[in-house]
Amino acid sequence: MATASKISIENAGRIFDDGKNKVVALQGANLAVANNEFVTFVGASGCGKSTLLRCIAGLETLTSGAIKVDGEAINAPGVDRAMVFQHYSLYPWLSVMGNIKFTRRLQVKRQNITSADVEAASGRADALLELMGLTHAADAYPNQLSGGMQQRVAIARALLPRPQILLMDEPFGALDAQTREVMHDLILHVSKLEKTTIVFVTHDVEEAIYLGQRVVLMAPRPGRIDSIYDVPLPAERNQDMKLTAEFLQLKKQILARIRETSGMHTDRDLLQRFTRQAEAGNDPKGAVMNAADNELSTDVLWEEVVPGGMHTSFVMKRGSALRLTDIEGGGNVSALFYNVEEKLERYNMADTLKAQHTAYLTKGFVCYSDMGRVLASVIEDRCGWHDTLCGISNAALVQQKYGTANYQTHRNAMHRNARDSFIVELGKWGMGKRDIVPNVNFFSKVSADENGALHFHPDHSAAGDFVELRFEMNVLVVLAAAQHPLDPDPHYRPRPVRLSAWHSGTPDQRDYCRNFRPENVRGFFNTELLFR
């Protein structure tokens, strides 16, 4: 880059050491922020994003590395860097105007002052008041104002001395969603008008993408900069952009990364360890205890374990939900969905994929029927990819891969395949071979390379991973816990799956899946027409 950066963070580190405990709050952070850039910091709690911001402000000092503004290292607060805090930073004994003009009362501003300066400052205070829409509240005290108005005062106060850098520490975290959207557009306007370089810390990924030209993702233990994302949106933002594919894609990507870095994987490791121990009979209590972490918080209607290779079918009513848990890991559950009232309406793979611009299912995606209605929504997912492309195993394939083991010789240990399992289950509901359509393979991941060859990912699903489906219609669910047709495992080892059902209720207007894709809004509308 030709122009020098406004803020440069060079190998910045901060260790809290009270003599007893040592906490690495920030480690080896490197970042250059350009002049008039809007950078947002997101990350799980404890990732050091606030610490880094406070170091830039000079409120905390680094224990290693340096932060430079215009090439000069900083170590104390300064008027060139204004800060807006989450709350409680206004002075309740001063009026709104008194707060905004607070800097005027300080020594730094009183030296060599001319009457023209005073006039200019008063004019600026009035202008800021107007910009923030606070003219009518100039004489009010802060505690008479709503949270959103208080933050506007805080922003105006910070802007009065024309700082070159504005640091914002979760400034809208305590505001309601509507007020927050208004504040977003306001702060974007300010950034354009005042040409201030803004560094903005938030825990809200949507906020970070909407505001930032770049999103810096930080990760905990030790606090560090994990990755930096360029926001592929035009400089001029508007609220509609939040529903564009680019926006949602980036949001999904960042959320997934935050989940990965937030220590979720540690929980999974723990669960696996306890499960292994429990199987070995070492510590059955451990498994029970740890399983509670992933326990459903609501009342379970019914629960059942489908042994590996077995099949089942049942009806899920609209407003109920089903969790499939891969008990041992490495499992696969082939599934079909039918509208139980009119079974000709059924899960349609092609429509599901093309409507949602995807080749797999995970949280947020829904299963469409051939009538454009939503049969079921994926409301939670711990494994991130469920195959929709590869279909099911049949008798010939199973025999070829695992050898012959039929009922006559092996009784209940016989080898089963998904196709025959489906035929048996469908028969119970008056359906047959012709009703088998492309299905979902839960817990399996198959990706394509550039030549179009499909690759199966072994051990994609870990022990305890689950996926949750909420049913938006009265749905006949047909399941077969058979191995995936592309599973390269030479042994016949289908894994058991636990089913847990509960009343989830129907989704509201702000539901995650409903708003996950613009197309889904339409799909839900179509579905709800049936139940009006």
Q: Which residues bind another protein (CB under 8 A)?
A: 57-59, 77-79, 81-83, 85-93, 102-103, 105-109, 136-137, 140-146, 149, 154, 157-158, 161, 167
What's the min distance (Å) between Cβ of 213 and another protein? 23
Spatial neighbors of 36 by CB under 8 A, at least 6 apart, are 6, 191, 195, 196, 197
Of residues 167 and 225, the one with the C-beta less far from another protein: 167
User: At its nearest, how many Å lie between another protein and the CB of residue 108?
Assistant: 4
- For residues 149 and 137, the answer to whether their CB atoms sit within 8 Å is yes
CA-based radius of gyration for the chain: 29
Burial category of 314 from C-beta neighbours within 10 Å (exposed 0-12, middle 13-18, buried 19 and up): middle
22/93 with CB nearer another protein: 93
CA distance 448 to 436: 24
Cβ of residue 121: shortest distance to another protein, in angstroms? 13
Q: How far apart are CB 181 and another protein at their closest, in Å?
A: 22
CB of 202 to another protein, least distance (A): 17
CB of 50 to another protein, least distance (A): 12
Pull the structure tokens for residue 110.
Answer: 């009183």
236 burial level (CB within 10 Å; 0-12, 13-18, 19+): exposed
Q: Which is nearer to another protein, 103 or 500 (CB)?
A: 103
Print the SS3 string covering 103-162.
HHHCHHHHCCCCHHHHHHHHHHHHHHHHHCCCHHHCCCCHHHCCHHHHHHHHHHHHHCCC
DSSP label at residue 463: T
What is the residue type of 102?
A: F
Say how far apart CA 104 and CA 110 lie, in whole Å: 7
Residues 6+ apart with CB under 8 A from 306: 312, 333, 479, 481, 496, 497, 498, 499
State which residue, 14 or 484, has the beta carbon closest to another protein.
Answer: 14
Cα–Cα distances (Å) from 456 to 189, 213, 399, 421, in that order, read 49, 37, 20, 22
Q: How far is the CB of 64 from another protein (least distance, A)?
A: 23
Q: How far is the CB of 137 from another protein (least distance, A)?
A: 4
Report the candidate in 240, 175, 251 with the shortest Cα–Cα distance to residue 206: 251
Q: Cβ(479)–Cβ(313) under 8 Å?
A: yes
Q: To the nearest whole angstrom, how small is the minimum distance from the Cβ of residue 139 to another protein?
A: 9
Helix (H, G, I), strand (E, B) or coil at 486: coil
Contact 370, 348 (CB under 8 A): yes
